Amino acid sequence: MKIYYKHILLERILIAINALAAISVAATFVMLYGFAQPVISVTILYITQFIALAIFIAEKVIRFFNSQSKRDFLKFNWFEIPLFLLLFLAVLGSGRWFAGGSSVAILITVDAYLILQVISKLCRTMVAIAATGKNPPRALAAVFVVLIWVGSGLLMLPRSHNLPRMDLTDAVFTAASATCVTGLIVKDTGTDFTLMGQVTILSLIQLGGLGIVIFGAVTALLLGQALSVRESAAMQDLLNAQTLSRIGRMIAFIFLFTLVIESLGTVGLYSMWDDVPSETMTPEGKWFCSIFHSVSAFCNAGFSLFQKNLTEYKSCVQVYVVIAPLIVLGGLGFGVLYNLLSVLRDRLIRLVRGYGGSGRLFFTAPPARLHLQTKIVLFVSALLILVGTAALMLFEYYSPNPNHDAGFPTALFQSVSGRTAGFNTIDIASLSEASKFILILLMCIGGSPGSTAGGIKTVTFAVVVMIVWASFRKRRNVEIFGRSIRLLVVGRATTVLLLFSAMLLLSTFTLVITERHNGFAFLDILFETASALGTVGLSAGITPSLTTAGKWVIIITMLVGRLGPLTLLAGLTREIKPAVFEYPSEPVIVG
């Protein structure tokens, strides 16, 4: 829904004042809670918050009278009324209803109101930026860059880490790795960061994995604000959705499915932390550890709160029945999951109503079916998991330095995690070169389109393979599961493969130059680059020893891998107008 105002200049002034007020609120919270002692007088900070509160309230009143339709304005901002009433009641009854003094209760209430206001405005701004239509790929890249820099600033606060000083490069590296859901680390997440820093990393993983723009759309829908046509089109582009009419339903599905799956994962992991005697945790610590690893697994981030990742938990059944399924579900893509659940729901309804008997008369719509995208994703994902498991077991069994820990469960988990997530139950540096090469191939293929994973994606891999197969069979069209693939899709798949390969070679070549004095093996450098570009997070152990230049190479590589090479190419070439003519063709010889 779009609100129209009488005086455009007044609205622009309000937007600028709103932005300054929101920035001031964020700065006051950083100064109050980010340092051991506030750098500015606490009184001044609280006065600033009350001024911002007055600005937010005055802004709503002015916009109400400036709006062309008062009804539409109230409908769009309906949640502001109960929110303001709660604020008024809390302040009015602070001395009688709340313990700890009226001033403390007022400050807590005002802080909560300001936080909700800033989050609401930020989310709506993200959706508005995505819906500008000028250059969505650049807008998406800008959102990720801003998120990384904000996260870096939060991680550098004294209360976020246990180090004497947090280096800027290390802070940006950690924030980029979390935002790009990669998992490569230069500082230990569990010991070098405090609870505040770990919560910041967790927030970056969740926002980066699902997309802050998606969170903005979710916030708008939860507040009853319908998306405009332009905003729905922007969401359609971000979600790779096929129809515009289902965008709201798809966004609601993403939010609810993520909430349910991550909650189930949290409950399933709670008892796991008691299995290692060296790790003693309080109940609160176990809940936080469960939430952190559940979110990290579903978002395919691979961040862990333990120095050795999950190697000390390789005998725990939860690694294989909770974390591994979370990784797989997060890497399938929300479009595939939506299609699977739609088909399952349709089958159950038909079964309950007596499908095959007289109940068939009640069904007018055709039964839901698996889309071609779903079939390709499921087949390729299962194939890669099985082939990866068999290859890791085989190469470790015949390795000159055999790793006896690489049995079936370990190889299976590493095949699942190595393609998208980055958790490890075995020391990656101790693997044979053949096993590392297999993991490099899995990391380059990655997960599926529309998921939290990176790589060229499973569908791209399948299309490229079928291009070769069509050439062998001398077929004019590329065919998969009895369906022909459009020429445009074939061209995109080829472009993605070439761009990904070019970026992989360029990053590897650059790292070879920057790390020439460290004496790293070439395969380990290639492994590191593939892990960063595929946003996987596995490492052969060289990440903390990288030079400053090498860390920045990995940071850029992770960002490119998260956005996707085709997205960046679209952002750079969007202004180029398509040709309106074609040259005459002439045969050439290839191969």
Model confidence pLDDT, tens digit, residues 258-298 = 889 999 999 999 888 886 656 667 888 889 999 999 999 99
Residues in the chain: 591
- The residues with which 193 forms a beta bridge, in sequence order, are 161
**For the CA atoms of 399, 405, 408, 413, what is the dihedral angle to 10 degrees?**
-110
Model confidence pLDDT, tens digit, residues 541-581 = 898 889 999 999 999 999 888 887 666 665 555 555 666 67
Q: Look at residue 123 and tell me whether its pLDDT is greater than 90.
A: no
The residues near 436 (Cβ < 8 Å, ≥ 6 apart) are 428, 523, 524, 527, 540
Query: Could you tell me the two tokens for 224?
Result: 């009853």
Specify whether the CB–CB gap between 200 and 155 falls below 8 A.
Answer: yes
Query: Could you tell me the two tokens for 510?
Result: 């650059």
- The residues with which 479 forms a beta bridge, in sequence order, are 484
Rounded mean pLDDT of 120-138?
A: 64
The predicted structure's pLDDT at residue 569: 61
Model confidence pLDDT, tens digit, residues 197-237 = 999 999 899 888 776 556 555 555 555 455 555 555 555 55
**CB half-sphere exposure, 29, CA atoms < 13 A:** 16
Query: Could you tell me the two tokens for 327?
Result: 């990784």
Query: Could you tell me the two tokens for 317?
Result: 């059944």
The predicted structure's pLDDT at residue 131: 58
Q: How far apart are CA 415 and CA 424, in angstroms?
A: 10
- Residue 187 per-residue DSSP state: S
DSSP structure string for 408-454:
HHHHHHHHHHHHHT---SS-GGGS-HHHHHHHHHHHHH-S-TTSS--
DSSP 3-state assignment of 161? strand
Q: Look at residue 423 and tell me whether its pLDDT is greater than 80.
A: yes
The predicted structure's pLDDT at residue 264: 94
Residue with the bigger pLDDT between 59 and 1: it is 59
Q: Which helix (H) or strand (E) holds 485?
A: strand 483-485
Q: How far apart are CA 144 and CA 148, in angstroms?
A: 6
Rounded mean pLDDT of 106-115?
A: 76
The predicted structure's pLDDT at residue 282: 81
- The residues with which 484 forms a beta bridge, in sequence order, are 479
| Greatest distance between any 2 Cα atoms in the chain | 88
Query: Could you tell me the two tokens for 97?
Result: 């209803």
Alpha carbon separation from 91 to 52, 95, 377 (Å, rounded): 16, 8, 54
- Token pair 């990742």: residue: 309
The predicted structure's pLDDT at residue 523: 92
- Residue 246 per-residue DSSP state: G
Q: Look at residue 585 and tell me whether its pLDDT is greater than 80.
A: no
DSSP 3-state assignment of 150? helix
pLDDT band at 18 (very low <50, low <70, confident <90, very high): confident
- Residue 5 per-residue DSSP state: B
Model confidence pLDDT, tens digit, residues 425-475 = 888 888 888 989 999 999 999 888 878 788 889 999 999 999 999 888 888
The predicted structure's pLDDT at residue 48: 87
The predicted structure's pLDDT at residue 479: 87
- Token pair 């761009």: residue: 499
Model pTM? 0.84
Q: How far apart are CA 452 and CA 298, in angstroms?
A: 8
pLDDT band at 375 (very low <50, low <70, confident <90, very high): very high
Residue with the bigger pLDDT between 246 and 517: it is 517
Alpha carbon separation from 506 to 184, 445, 501, 503, 557 (Å, rounded): 19, 18, 9, 5, 10
pLDDT band at 514 (very low <50, low <70, confident <90, very high): very high
Mean pLDDT value across the chain: 81
pLDDT band at 183 (very low <50, low <70, confident <90, very high): confident
For the four alpha carbons of 79, 81, 85 and 91, in that order, the dihedral sign comes to positive
Instruction: Determine the distance from the C-alpha atom of residue 479 to the mean position of all C-alpha atoms in its chain, rounded to a whole number.
Output: 32
The residues near 15 (Cβ < 8 Å, ≥ 6 apart) are none
Q: Look at residue 504 and tell me whether its pLDDT is greater than 90.
A: yes
The predicted structure's pLDDT at residue 110: 77
